[in-house]
Chains A and B, each alone.
Chain A
Amino acid sequence: MRALDVLTLPLHPLRWLAARARRRFRAWWMARTPPSDTHQLRQSNIYILPTRAGLMFGTTLLVLLLASINYQLNLGFVLTFLLAGSGVVSMHVTHATLRGLTLRLRAPAPVHAGEAALLEIVLTSPGTARYGIGLRAETATPAAFSWIDVPARGQAVARVSFVPARRGLHAVPTLLAETRFPLGLFRAWTLWRPASSVLAWPAPERPPAPLPAALGTARGEATTRRAEGSETEGVRAYRRGDPLKLVVWKKAAKHAGVGGELVSRDTSAALHRQLWLDWQASGSGVDEGRLSRLAAWVLAADAGHVRYGLRLPGRELPLGQGESHRRACLEALALWRA
């Protein structure tokens, strides 16, 4: 402890009491309102207090008033009271900036742990235009506000970032919406607990380990020889999601007039290779490290357009390909429990 800390010792019990009071208040407040993805701002959930600048403004008014009284300046009274009137009106305007707004959270997209999840919040104003509304997660730094204006009888979308530290399902943190418009003398804010959750996939291992070798299928050669009509080997029906460079365009042009379907090339590796991403094969180490490696493999396999499957203790995802399969695998990795 530094020397000066000794002077603040008497304050410690007070601080402890204050912290306890804050926790109790917080618990009461959280029990009062159920979490919801839509937040209607009314008088009951908007709080307003003067800011430090507002207190300085009050002191300035007092000084102006004293000077006017002492020098008997009626015009000084006019100035002081004009500013006082503006201050009082600004309090109402600040409160009215938030009152009546509706905040709605769009379903947040999943992200990797350690990346910023972008929460999209739609603000709707039924009446007048609103200016200078700032949104952030309550636990973020005050500099992390994202500011937005809402047009009259319109909508605006604000984006708040939130970084999940670990994998798994995270409840969206309590959000704070605040405004100091127009004069910065008062601060009106509201706290909102959304009901949604953000799914955080495991952070992929960097640098990624090489993919395990794929196993050949039993039917290896025979499958490739089987041709459909006069087509060359390695084509199949076009599946939605196939990259466009795999589509056989000549065929498509030929058959377009007679209602032919698109066909795409079947990459040979995918035909007769099966890639199993196995828990056992993901090295030795802590669970999180294994999951990170598996996640990196899933990403690599998806990028290489390989058919892959995932084997976890207690869970197996069959071979598959494509966007939804990737998401399913990553979700399984994110939610896996020992």
Chain B
Amino acid sequence: MAGLTLPVGGWRWPGWRHLPRDTRDTLFLLGVIAWIVLPHVPRLPWWCTLLTALVLLWRGQIALSGAPLPRRWVLVVVLLAVAALTLFTYRTLLGKEAGVTLVVSMMALKTLELRARRDAFVVFFLGFFIVLTQFLGSQSLPVAAAMVVSVWGLLTALVLAHMPVGQPSLRQAAGLAARTALLGAPLMALLFVLFPRIGPLWGVPQDAAATTGLSGSMTLGSVAEVALDDGVALRLRFEGLPPAQRDLYFRGPVLTEFDGRQWKRREPAGSDAREAFEALSAPLRYEMTLEPQRLTVLPLLETPPPDAAPRVDGLRVLRGAALEWHAARPVTERLRFEAEAVLRYRYGARLSRAQLHDALALPSGFNPRTLAWAEALRHEPRLAEADARTLAAAVLEHIARGGYTYTLEPGTYGDATGHDAIDEFWLDRKRGFCEHFASAFVVVMRALGVPARVVTGYQGADPRPSDGYLIVRNSYAHAWAEYWQPGVGWLRADPTAAVAPDRIGLTRSLQPRPGLVAGALGTVSPTLLAALREAWEAADNRWNQWVLNYSSGRQFELLKSLGASSPSWEDLAYVLLGVLCAASLAGAAWAWWDQRHQDPWTRLAARIRRRLQRLGVEAAPHHAPRTLAQAVRERLGERGAALAALLEALDAARYAAGGRRMPPAAWRREFAAQARALARDGALR
């Protein structure tokens, strides 16, 4: 087996310029392969990364030392080992991760099989495929830039392979590759705009889902995790003025069941979905761009009227219990849709005790001190006849005055089984995040006999709209509460507003500690950091809107703007075919013109010859104008003196120093006139 030979002592790097052509091309191709594989390293198993690195280094060493390539059976054995390891790691050879592992290994092994210039095409095509699989993870701007560099590198390697003479510089080959790609960019833009965006052809790929975001349950501390993520959750654009920050509540999962440790959504038993809904303000129209998320619940602005479901392309949206809105399947792609919201409303005024049973249930044996405290509060004289609203106000006042602190890192509450977590928070330490306050509030309200439940979602948005869009990040994840007042319905109560009003009013969300670079930049110039971030956000937003969100909806809008009344797939296909046909015809017309194209001088000379031949003067293609002038004098004598003079003038104009390429139009007219006159005279004779 051709073993690995380490470079012997005394071998020096000869310098890039002094490498032989084959070696340089091979090293360049290996570098491009390394660049392509690099973004996949976090997701590849460690043995695959190690194998690829070793194989690439080995191939580089072979190229530099001129050693022979390993035998074919070596590669077959290694490939079988790779397949076995893949099976062992992923339990399958199909599927996304296993496929990427196999393709990366095959590409690395293929480099051991080829010379620099021949039969490298399999490597190139595998490279393109690996670039594509990168997009399954992320399609952001940096990924797009890396893709452009990868494609450029691969095209440069292809161009180098087809310039077999001499030693073309890398810059020359890269320039040729870039020119080819740039000239093809208009076709790319045309196809991108007009190619129909049909839905998935088979299966629903679950792999591209998000891994952060709200989930359908809440334990104390889980929302705080999400709030550390500064990534964008959704973007909004309102028709008209956006509402105030304190009205921007986005309703996600509603959690009713509490088992002492965890809040969960209630399975919709007897649904209150058809309960009376009364809108108290005008609906507000907006457009939302929602990032992929784990849940089927869409975090819409509170709250869409029951009959106005958001219109989403290719997705059914249904209204569920507790004013949630569900998508028919998990949202795996970025969605862009329009919806309405009514900011002030009345809902569920006439629910029965049986329907509210779940909103009153408390687990027995948990948080006894809190329950006792609630009992004590209930029996206070001023609250004897209090209704739900008064009780809620009293609890909120207690929160505001009771020495509570709003912090992102309060520490853990409760022991391993979660016993007395609320007790510890409510009565002892009094430090917590929105979820602590919301949980405690709901527990206290239920202990007071008021039906209440926790609502999770997002609250607020970035203070300044970016590019016209309000941005809601994951750090705006929030938990608040709802309680039920007879005759009125469900009312929102946000305990966080009581303890940290600026969290709600101004929406300066709690900033997690910045990273090293961001921190340094922030201390040097905070405004610069903020400005950079805004510019980046705007660019990212534009990228999302114009490229990543370019969907069939946008295509139909484009067709509508071009005049089609009700566009469909067929119209789009016709337009695309029409444009391609027109381009082909234009190309054919140019080819025809190019074929017929004659040098203007040759054409003129042919015309002169024809005229002279009609006058009886012998003119051959190889005669210069001077020769023709002499022939004219000989043939026509004195009559042809003027014509001959014209021909001599043409000769001088063309061939003299500083001569022009073509005679002026006046000369041609005069020549034509003279020739016609002579022809008439000749005919008369």
Q: A interface vs B, CB < 8 Å?
A: 42-44, 53, 56-57, 60, 63-64, 66-79, 81-90, 93, 131-132, 134, 147-149, 180-184
Contact = CB atoms under 8 A, between A and B. Distances in A.
A121 to B, nearest CB: 15
Interface string B133-165: 001100100011001000100010011011111
Contacts of A181: 159, 162-163
A219 B554 CA distance: 109
B36 interface: no
B371 to A, nearest CB: 51
B135 A76 contact: yes
Given A81-B188, A88-B184, A72 B163 contact: no
Contact of B185 (A69, A85, A93, A149): A85
Contacts of B208: 71
20 contacts: A60-B129, A67-B132, A69-B200, A70-B201, A70-B202, A71-B135, A72-B199, A75-B147, A78-B147, A78-B547, A79-B132, A81-B188, A82-B181, A82-B185, A82-B188, A85-B184, A86-B180, A88-B187, A134-B164, A184-B162
B162 A180 contact: yes
A89 B594 CA distance: 18
Given A60-B125, A64-B132, A93 B180 contact: yes
Interface in B416-469: none
Interface residues on B, range: 35 or more
B165 A184 contact: no
A183 B136 CA distance: 28
Q: Is the interface of B mostly helix, strand, loop or mixed?
A: helix
B610 to A, nearest CB: 24
A147 B53 CA distance: 35
A71 B200 contact: yes
Interface string B172-213: 000011001101111110011001011111110100100000
Nearest to A44: B595
A76 B144 contact: no
Given A60-B125, A78-B188, A147-B165, 13 more contacts: A53-B121, A67-B132, A69-B198, A69-B201, A70-B205, A73-B139, A74-B550, A79-B131, A79-B147, A81-B191, A82-B185, A182-B158, A182-B176
A166 to B, nearest CB: 33
A184 B548 contact: no
A88 B190 CA distance: 13
B550 A89 contact: no
B128 A184 contact: no
B200 A72 contact: yes
A82 B176 CA distance: 15
B243 interface: no
B163 A66 contact: no
Contacts of A42: 595
Contacts of B187: 81, 84-85, 88-89
Nearest to B136: A71
B165 A57 contact: no
Contact of B595 (A43, A68, A81, A180): A43
Contact of B144 (A56, A72, A78, A87): A78
Nearest to B189: A81
A258 B584 CA distance: 80
Contacts of A81: 187-188, 191-192, 195
Contacts of A74: 139, 192, 547-550
A87 B128 CA distance: 14
B240 interface: no
B333 interface: yes
A292 B159 CA distance: 50
A90 B594 CA distance: 19
A56 B125 contact: yes
A68 B191 contact: no
Contacts of B199: 72
A327 to B, nearest CB: 33
Interface string B565-599: 00000000000000000000000000100110000
Nearest to A72: B333
B166 interface: yes
Contact of A68 (B125, B132, B162): B132
